């Protein structure tokens, strides 16, 4: 197995995407299974935990960040649980080790509860140029049910705080398929979010993940989600309506004004290399994908003692990578560019996957345009079944 601080052997000095995982939240949401933990309430214990985290992530970057970052994404968790000087010290460390390309997209996720003018202004001035905020809904009943720590009014106010701090590239997350939610409820939510005028929107259907309070409710039979047809109708309505109001559908779950597509996430969908720092962070370098331990102390021990301890590690062979590049690329509505694919693998997708592509075309789920293989509308509705062909 690989040390956390040790990159796979590679002389590659090409830029890579960098992800920083900040594992703290004020309170855990009822549906969330991310690698994150609720912080103790403010005070010395919370401060000590945050300091230990920052010290360790700086060490991890110092040990292994030797390539320039083409994009940087601070996710979580709730990165804005940290103070501005802590967040900026991590960004400075990336600048000092490998560097950040001029004009790189530098995103930070924030929770509306942590929106504060001075914090946001310091982050904007310190080099963050994109802010992603989790709204999830603009319905106070649903927000309470999701276990969110903010109201709809607070979410709207947080958006204006971000604008006031100078963020001119803001992404908002919204969920659908929520308990008791009708298609009309979701339409009202989405219209409310669009009325604010963000540059980017991400939409996710609620899935009940094991080990969450929602899973316990589902097991007891007291979590009633919309029918599958309603879930599908919400998804399809978003894909129909958002482009008509200026948000291009560029990925299954992502919509943007022209030129505001997420460059960081696009690197994942092109199956490019990325380096993740922090507990629970994933990396993909030289065809090797590995995962840091989510437990903060175990991750910290691996970094400082340089012991060979990861949650997971596997290396793809070339066929595995070609397959992955297909199903990740098909997530983008423009699809997999055949000339680009040929340049990367020596032949276009049809040369490698004629049987798979034939079955998918026969099913009506993908199509060949002049330049790409892409999902059809029918394929968009069953995208996971399409991707399974390449797994």
Binding mask 348-377 for ligand SF4 (x = CB under 6 A): ------------------------------
Cβ proximity to ligand SF4, 15 vs 112, nearer residue: 112
Among 34, 204, 304, 340, contact with ligand SF4 (rule: CB under 6 A) = 34
Residue 78 touches ligand SF4, criterion: CB under 6 A: yes
Cβ proximity to ligand SF4, 32 vs 381, nearer residue: 32
Cβ proximity to ligand SF4, 15 vs 76, nearer residue: 76
Cβ proximity to ligand SF4, 32 vs 301, nearer residue: 32
Residue 204 touches ligand SF4, criterion: CB under 6 A: no
Residues 154-183 touching ligand SF4, rule: CB under 6 A, are none
Among 76, 112, 276, 329, contact with ligand SF4 (rule: CB under 6 A) = 76
The label of the residue with tokens 């920083």 reads: 20
Which of 196, 197, 134, 131 is CA-nearest to residue 166?
131
Residue 29 touches ligand SF4, criterion: CB under 6 A: yes
Among 3, 5, 10, 32, contact with ligand SF4 (rule: CB under 6 A) = 32
Among 5, 12, 28, 217, contact with ligand SF4 (rule: CB under 6 A) = 28
Q: Which residues contact 291 (CB under 8 A, 6 or more apart)?
A: 280, 281, 282, 283, 310, 311, 312, 313
Cβ proximity to ligand SF4, 12 vs 149, nearer residue: 149
Stretch near ligand SF4 under the rule CB under 6 A, chosen from 28-36, 99-107, 196-204, 362-370:
28-36
Q: Are 236 and 175 in contact (CB under 8 A)?
A: no
Smallest separation (angstroms) from ligand SF4 to the CB of 56: 19
- Cα separation of 104 and 129, whole Å? 9
Can you read off the two tokens belonging to residue 156? 């709207």
Smallest separation (angstroms) from ligand SF4 to the CB of 362: 39
- Cα separation of 53 and 278, whole Å? 8
Cβ proximity to ligand SF4, 34 vs 387, nearer residue: 34
34 φ/ψ angles, rounded to the nearest 5 degrees: -70, 165
For 287-297, b/e burial (b = at least 16 CB within 10 A) is: bbbbbbbbbbe
- Cα separation of 264 and 256, whole Å? 14
The label of the residue with tokens 């958002």 reads: 242
Smallest separation (angstroms) from ligand SF4 to the CB of 204: 10
Q: Is 71 exposed, middle or buried (0-12, 13-18, 19+ CB in 10 A)?
A: buried
Q: Is 85 exposed, middle or buried (0-12, 13-18, 19+ CB in 10 A)?
A: exposed
Angle at 139 between CA 136 and CA 141, to 5 degrees: 105
Residue 292 touches ligand SF4, criterion: CB under 6 A: no
Angle at 337 between CA 131 and CA 382, to 5 degrees: 75
Binding mask 102-141 for ligand SF4 (x = CB under 6 A): ---------x----------------------x-------
Stretch near ligand SF4 under the rule CB under 6 A, chosen from 70-78, 197-205, 272-280, 324-332:
70-78
Residue 201 touches ligand SF4, criterion: CB under 6 A: no
Does an H or E element contain 141, and which?
helix 140-146
Residue 77 touches ligand SF4, criterion: CB under 6 A: yes
Cβ proximity to ligand SF4, 33 vs 272, nearer residue: 33
Q: Which residues contact 45 (CB under 8 A, 6 or more apart)?
A: none
The footprint of ligand SF4 on this chain (CB under 6 A) covers a number of residues equal to 11
Smallest separation (angstroms) from ligand SF4 to the CB of 199: 21
Q: Are 380 and 239 in contact (CB under 8 A)?
A: yes
Residue 208 touches ligand SF4, criterion: CB under 6 A: no
Does an H or E element contain 368, and which?
strand 366-368
Q: Kindly list the residues in this chain that would bind ligand SF4 in the complex (CB under 6 A).
A: 25, 28-29, 32, 34, 36, 76-78, 111, 134
């Amino acid at each position: 197995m690989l040390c956390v601080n040790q990159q796979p052997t590679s002389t590659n000095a090409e830029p890579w995407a960098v992800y920083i995982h900040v594992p703290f939240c004020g309170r855990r949401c009822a549906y969330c299974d991310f690698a994150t933990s609720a912080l103790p309430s403010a005070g010395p214990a919370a401060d000590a935990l945050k300091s230990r985290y920052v010290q360790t992530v700086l060490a991890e970057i110092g040990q292994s960040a030797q390539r320039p970052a083409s994009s940087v994404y601070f996710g979580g968790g709730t990165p804005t649980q940290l103070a501005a000087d802590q967040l900026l010290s991590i960004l400075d460390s990336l600048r000092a080790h490998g560097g950040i390309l001029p004009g790189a997209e530098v995103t930070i996720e924030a929770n509306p509860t942590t929106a504060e003018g001075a914090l946001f202004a310091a982050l904007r001035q310190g080099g963050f140029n994109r802010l992603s905020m989790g709204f999830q809904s603009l319905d106070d009943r649903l927000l309470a049910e999701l276990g969110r720590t903010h109201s709809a009014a607070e979410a709207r106010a947080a958006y204006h705080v971000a604008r006031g701090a100078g963020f001119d590239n803001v992404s908002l997350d919204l969920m659908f398929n929520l308990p008791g939610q009708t298609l009309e409820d979701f339409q009202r939510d989405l219209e409310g979010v669009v009325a604010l005028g963000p540059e980017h929107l991400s939409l996710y259907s609620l899935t009940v993940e094991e080990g969450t309070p929602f899973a316990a409710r589902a097991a007891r039979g007291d979590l009633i989600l919309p029918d599958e047809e309603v879930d599908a109708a919400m998804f399809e309505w978003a894909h129909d309506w958002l482009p008509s109001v200026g948000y291009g559908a560029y990925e299954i779950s992502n919509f943007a004004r022209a030129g505001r597509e997420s460059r960081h996430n696009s690197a994942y969908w092109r199956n490019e290399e990325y380096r993740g720092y922090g507990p629970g962070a994933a990396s993909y370098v030289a065809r090797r994908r590995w995962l840091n331990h989510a437990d903060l102390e175990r991750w910290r021990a691996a970094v400082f003692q340089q012991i060979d301890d990861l949650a997971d590690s596997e290396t793809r062979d070339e066929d595995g990578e070609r397959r992955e590049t297909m199903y990740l690329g098909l997530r983008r509505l423009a699809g997999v560019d055949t000339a680009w694919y040929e340049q990367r693998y020596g032949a276009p997708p049809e040369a490698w996957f004629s049987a798979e592509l034939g079955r998918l075309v026969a099913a009506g789920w993908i199509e060949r345009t002049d330049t790409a293989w892409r999902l059809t509308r029918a394929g968009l509705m069953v995208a996971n079944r399409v991707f399974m062909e390449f797994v």
